[in-house]
Amino acid sequence: MVRSDLRNIAIIAHVDHGKTTLVDEMLKQGGVFRENQVVQERVMDSNELERERGITILAKNTAAKFDGVKINIVDTPGHADFGGEVERILKMVNGVLLLVDAAEGPMPQTRFVLQKALSLGHKVIIVINKIDKPDARIKEVEDEVLELLFDLNANEEQLNSPFVYCSGRNGTATLNPDEEGKDLAPLFRKIIEYIPAPEGDETGSLQMLISSIDYNDYVGRIAIGRIERGTLKQGQDIVVANYHNTYTPYKAKITNVYQFEGLKRVPVETATIGDIVALSGIENITIGDTICDPETVEPLKFVKISDPTIEMTFSVNDSPFAGREGKYVTSRHLRARLFKELLKDVSLHVEETESPDSFKVSGRGEMHLSILIETMRREGYEFQVSTPRVLFKEIDGVLCEPIEEVVIDVPQDYMGSVMEKMGMRKGELQHMEPQGSRMRVEFLIPSRGLFGYRSEFMTDTKGEGIISSVFHGYEPYKGEIPSRSYGSLIAFEDGEAVTYGLFNAQDRGTLFIEPGTKVYGGMVVGCSPKGDDIVVNVCKKKHVTNMRSSSSDEALRLVPPHKLSLEESLEYMADDELLEVTPKSLRLRKRILDHAARMKANAKKQQNQ
C-alpha cells in the first residue's frame, strides 16, 4: 500500500537560518489557522527559552494540508548539542528540506544534520532562504551546498536535489531565483512531487519505532513515532521490545492514540502505515523501543545515541544565602528533578555520587547543560554547579579527548588575535578562505580549549565575529592548555556593597556587582587582569570625621558593572569556584569561602605540584 495522501518531512538547518519562521508560514498557508486568527511569531518554539534565544531545543511535530495531501512536518533542532534529538527524528521521515541562509551559506550544524540524513538515504530538497536579504549571494551559496553534498559522499540522486528559493518572512517561494514568488505553493508542490510517499503492508503485524518522548503530568509518558507496518487501534494489546535486548519484552495496552493536525494533537481511533502518532498509556516506554503485535515480536533497529562529552556536578546550595530565593532547595528535590529530565532527554546522563547532596550530570556540550540549568532555575530550583569538565575516553590503550570542529567568520582586521588564541588553545587550522571583507576559517580544537573562549572571542572581534562548533570525534590527548590568565576579585566579608567600597575595588579590575548588592565572604565580585585572586572589601564605608562628610560619596564615579549571563558565568569559572544558581540570582563563589582556609588549601596544592 502506498499512502499517496501523506508525506513525512523534516526541516534541517543551522541555528537562526529561519527554519521555524518558514514552518509558521507553511502552517498559515496550509490551512491550519483561520484567515483572521492572531498567531504569535515562531509559534513552533513553544518553550519560553526557545523563544528568547531564537533556537529550537526540542523537535516539534506538526502537519499542514495542501491539495488534499497531509504533510507531517518535523522541526528539528539546529544546534549540535541537541544532536540526540536530530538522529532519532530522521528515522520518522522519508525526506528532508535542507534550509540554507542565502547570505551565510552552509554552516557546521547544517553539515552535521545533513550527514545523518544522507546516510539514511533520504531525498533532499534544498531551500535557499532569506533571498530578500541585501547581502544574499544565491549563486555562490548554491555552489557551496553542492560542494557540501559532494564532501559528504551524497549519492547521484542526492547530488541532483532540486532547489527552491524562499523568503520565510514574506511567505513566498519560487523555483527561479530571478522571479518573485507569491506564496509557498511551489514549495508544497515540490514536496508532494519529490518526497516519496510512505508505503508498507497495512494488513501485516504491527511495528512502530519510538523516536521521541514527551512527558505530561496527567498521562505520564507520551511516545511518538511512525507506524512502519500494520494498523494501530485504541485499546489494543501490544508488546514492547528493544532491538539491543536491554530488557525482556513486556505486554502493555494503548490507552489513547493521537495524530498531529496543525499544532494540536487530535485523538483518533486507528492509524496505519506512514502515520506519525503519539501514544499514551505505556509507563516505562523509552526512545528506541518498538511497539509490536503480540503474535509477531520483531523489534526495529535503532541508531545508538552519541555519548555525552561534558560533565558538571550539580549540588545542593550551601552558601550563606542558601534557601532565601528558591522554592525547591533540598537534595530530594534536586534528585527528583534531574531524574525526571531523563524521561525525555536521552542525551543526558545523571549519576549519583558518594555525597547524597551531589549529582554528576553529563551532556552533549555546554549549551545542552546551560539550557537545563536555566530551565530548572525558572521552575524555582536553587542549587550550585561546578565548572564543566570534558569526558576523556581510552581507545586502544590511548587516552583520547573530544574534539570540536569550529567555523569562525570574522572581519580580516581581527584575524591575528583569533589565530593567536586558537594556537594557544591547541587549535589546528583546517581551511581558510576570504569572503568579501571577511575571512572564514575552520579549526579542529579540543572541547576543553573552547571553555571560556566565546566571550573572549566576542571582545577580540568587537562583537562582529561569528563562531560555531560541532562535535568532530575523539582524538589522542593534545597536552596541557593554559588555564585562564586572569584572577577573581573576592569579597572579604558579609554585608551590602556600597559605592565607596566598590570605587576602591574597581581600580583592581572589572566589577560584576553594583551598590546595594548583598555579598558574603568568598563570593566573586569581579575579575582581576592579574593572574592572582585579590580579596577586596566592597562593603567598606567612608569614616565620617569633622573634616569631611559622608555625603561626598555622591561625587564618586563608578564604572557600570559587567553582569555575567549564565553562559558567561560557566565560561568564567575556575576549578576552585562554583556557580550558585537561584531563580533570582547567579552568584560566583569560591568552593572554600573562608579566606584563611582557602590560602592554606592553595599552599598545600602548590607543594604537591
Residue 274: name the closest of 236, 229, 316, 305 by CA.
229
The count of domains in the chain is 4
Question: 494 vs 90, which has greater pLDDT?
Answer: 494
Residue 232: name the closest of 282, 157, 181 by CA.
282
472 and 492 belong to one structural domain = no
41 and 168 belong to one structural domain = yes
459 is in an annotated binding site: no
Dump pLDDT digits (tens) for 296-317. 888 777 766 667 888 999 999 9
pLDDT at 80 (0 to 100): 44
Is 177 a domain residue? yes
176 and 115 belong to one structural domain = yes
Which residues pair with residue 237 across a beta bridge?
253
Residue where a domain stops, chosen among 292, 312, 341: 292
Dump pLDDT digits (tens) for 165-187. 887 777 788 888 777 778 888 88
Domain assignment of residue 71, given as a range: 6-194
| Reported confidence tier of residue 240, pLDDT bands at 50, 70, 90 | confident
Tell me whether residue 197 is exposed, middle or buried, using C-beta atoms within 10 angstroms of its C-beta: 0 to 12, 13 to 18, 19 or more: middle
Q: Is the pLDDT of residue 384 over 90?
A: yes
479 is in an annotated binding site: no
What distance in Å separates the CA atoms of residue 44 and residue 41, rounded to the nearest whole number?
Answer: 9
**Angle (deg, nearest 10), helices 19-29 and 185-194:** 90
Is 449 a domain residue? yes
62 is in an annotated binding site: no
Is 545 a domain residue? yes
Is 330 a domain residue? no
Is 593 a domain residue? no
pLDDT at 589 (0 to 100): 93
Q: Is the pLDDT of residue 25 over 80?
A: no
34 and 167 belong to one structural domain = yes
Dump pLDDT digits (tens) for 145-168. 888 888 787 888 888 888 888 877
Q: Is the pLDDT of residue 523 over 70?
A: yes
Contact assessment for residue 598 and residue 522, using Cβ atoms and an 8 Å cutoff: yes
427 and 499 belong to one structural domain = no
183 is in an annotated binding site: no
Dump pLDDT digits (tens) for 30-54. 655 444 443 333 333 334 443 343 3
222 and 93 belong to one structural domain = no
281 and 229 belong to one structural domain = yes
162 and 24 belong to one structural domain = yes
- In percent, the amount of the chain with pLDDT more than 70 equals 86
CATH value at residue 502: 2.40.50.250
425 and 501 belong to one structural domain = no
21 is in an annotated binding site: yes
pLDDT at 50 (0 to 100): 35
CATH value at residue 63: 3.40.50.300
pLDDT at 15 (0 to 100): 60
**Buried b / exposed e across 421-460, counting CB within 10 Å, b at 16+?**
ebeebbbeeeeeeeeeebbbbbbbbbbbbbbbbbeebeeb
CATH value at residue 447: 3.30.70.240
Question: 420 vs 120, which has greater pLDDT?
Answer: 420
18 is in an annotated binding site: yes
Residue 593: name the closest of 322, 319, 357 by CA.
319
175 and 287 belong to one structural domain = no
Is 200 a domain residue? no
Q: Of the ranges 124-128, 381-385, 463-467, which one carries the lowest mean pLDDT score?
A: 463-467
203 is in an annotated binding site: no
Q: Of the ranges 18-32, 261-275, 513-527, 545-559, which one carries the lowest mean pLDDT score?
A: 545-559
pLDDT at 88 (0 to 100): 67
Supply the mean pLDDT for the chain: 80
458 and 514 belong to one structural domain = no
Residue where a domain stops, chosen among 271, 292, 313: 292
Amino acid (1-letter code) at residue 530: K
187 and 63 belong to one structural domain = yes
| Reported confidence tier of residue 532, pLDDT bands at 50, 70, 90 | confident
101 is in an annotated binding site: no
Select the highest-mean-pLDDT range: 109-123, 204-218, 580-594.
580-594
Is 570 a domain residue? no
CATH value at residue 215: 2.40.30.10
Q: Is the pLDDT of residue 536 over 60?
A: yes
Residue where a domain stops, chosen among 413, 447, 476: 476
DSSP collapsed to 3 states, 169-202: CCCEEECCCCCCCCCCHHHHHHHHHHCCCCECCC
130 is in an annotated binding site: yes
Q: Of the ranges 20-34, 273-287, 595-609, which one carries the lowest mean pLDDT score?
A: 20-34
Whose cell is 560542494? That residue is 147
56 is in an annotated binding site: no
pLDDT at 37 (0 to 100): 40
Mean pLDDT for the stretch of residues 414-432: 88
Is 506 a domain residue? yes
